[in-house]
Amino acid sequence: MTGRSHKYTNRIDTLRHTMQTHGVDAVFLAPSGDMEYVTGLRRRPPDPVETSFQGDDLLGILVTQDRLITFLPASSAIHGVEGLLQDCPWLMQEIVRLPRGIDQPAEGYAVFGTLGLANATVALPRFAQAMTVINLARHYPHMRFVNTDTFMDSLRTMRDPDDIEAIRKACRITDAIFRQVVDDLHTGDEIADVIREIHAQMVKQGAEGPSFNTMLLYGGPHTERQEFPQPSFAGPGSLNATLTPGTVLAFDFGVLYAGWCSDFGRTVYIGEPTAAMLHDHQLVADSQQAALDIMRGGEVTGAQADAAARRVFADAGRSEEFIHGLGHGVGVNVHEPPSLSAGSDTILQNGMTLAVEPSLWVDRRYFVRAEDVVVVTPLGAETLHGVPTRDIFVIE
């Protein structure tokens, strides 16, 4: 058995043990972070808008205590799933290939009855299609449904060394993209130009694509106050904004690499920053560092990390300008448990990877922000990025 096979068969065994603990008879892993983390089968990249294909409500992997069944609708062949499956031989022992045609759903759902699951408790990921649950309930009125979040969240926070190295690589690709984009920036560029260059650099630097919609936050001391933050994807007007001296551009983007995500933020100044901007830049860096210093495995909760960062802003009289939680887990999805926020009682453990992203919304006009993916260690959190948070980036 190869190392990769051993890794994912162990995760499947762990899932089965957890199912017993939670009284779950079967898990249907529809395409999701749950499926990818547990089985190693990659999801196809999402389309810009919702799309559906015949039978895709049955695309996924059914896990019981003694069966592991991969369901492949006919449409999966043209969408690359068959090719991805070749890298997961442990999922090829039992495959149900569903033919094209109107009877395909009934034929596929009949398998659940054959396995004796008509009265079972079945867990599905939160991102499973509604039609999967609707059709199962139609065929098996006494089947009960639960969300995998109740037991998967704790499993998915764990990272092995290979996982962490893949995330580190994603972060270093992100660093390279940021540095190249900043080197090529000039006053007069439009926000849309910056976004296009970020995405072009993703291809050049070896990323699979963005881990979420790239977001730029643009403003300055003399721009209009905003009732709500206006990210770059909020409308055509924000995309056409031109970089002018005296303004601030806050980056928020990430990449996907080998199935793992990065999530990154830095602040760039158009023209020489004012003394107030420089002060705020260091204040944000201080806030982030205060959290990283206490994020020792087994010692603090997500809420305590959030409080440590928030205390720096409170001491400076700036609490109201930090308008969101400190951060979140990062893994095969860009937003995962645990949360770094006031309500999080999860104790951070060594090996967890999280985004730590303090910011200031200055006078409701512009953002100063920093965001790093970090790994929790016994000595505190270690950043996986190579762009120092305190560096000042100035565009002429």
Residue located via tokens 């000595």: 379
Q: How far apart are the first and last CA of the chain?
A: 56
**All residues at 6 or more sequence positions from 383 whose CB lies less than 8 Å from its CB, including other chains:** 292, 372, 373, 374, 389
Q: Is 92 exposed, middle or buried (0-12, 13-18, 19+ CB in 10 A)?
A: exposed
CA dihedral sign, ordered 258, 264, 269, 273:
negative
346 — phi, psi (to 5°)? -70, 130
The DSSP-derived string for 196-229 is HHHHHHHHHTT--EESS--EEEEE-TTSPP-SS-
Separation between Cα atoms, residue 8 and residue 387, nearest integer Å: 33
- Closest to 71 in 3D by CA, of 101, 91, 50: 91
The 10s digit of each residue's pLDDT in 174-199 is: 999 999 999 999 999 999 999 999 99
Distance set, CA 268 to CA 1, 73, 175, 300 (Å): 49, 47, 14, 32
Strands 215-219 and 209-210: unpaired
Provide the pLDDT for residue 99.
81
DSSP string, 65-121: SS-EEEEEEGGGTTTTHHHHHTT-GGG-SSEEEEPSSTTHHHHHHHHHHHTT-TT-E
Length of the chain: 396
Q: Are 340 and 300 in contact (CB under 8 A)?
A: no
Distance CA 122, CA 4 (A): 27
Which residues in the chain come in under a pLDDT of 70? 1, 51, 77-79, 101-105, 232-237
| Burial category of 164 from C-beta neighbours within 10 Å (exposed 0-12, middle 13-18, buried 19 and up) | middle
Q: Looking at residue 100, what is its pLDDT?
A: 77
Please state which of the four CATH numbers 3.30.300.130, 3.50.30.10, 3.40.350.10, 1.10.420.10 is assigned to the domain occupying 3-152.
Answer: 3.40.350.10
Beta bridge partners of 123: 27, 146
pTM of the complete model: 0.93
Query: What gap in Å lies between CA 34 and CA 127, rounded to an integer?
Result: 9
Quote the tokens at residue 244.
């002018």
CA dist., res. 222 & res. 225, Å (int): 9
Q: Hey, where are the domains in the chain?
A: 3-152, 161-395
Q: Judge whether 58 and 105 are in contact, CB under 8 Å.
A: yes
Query: What element of type H or E holds 154?
Result: helix 149-156
Say how many CA atoms lie within 13 Å of 132 toward its Cβ.
26
User: How much is the pLDDT for 271?
Assistant: 97
Decide if 391 contacts 180 (C-beta within 8 A).
Answer: no
| Bond preceding residue 338 cis, omega within 30 of 0 | yes
Assigned fold of 161-395: Creatine Amidinohydrolase (3.90.230)
Burial of 129 (0-12, 13-18, 19+ CB in 10 A): middle
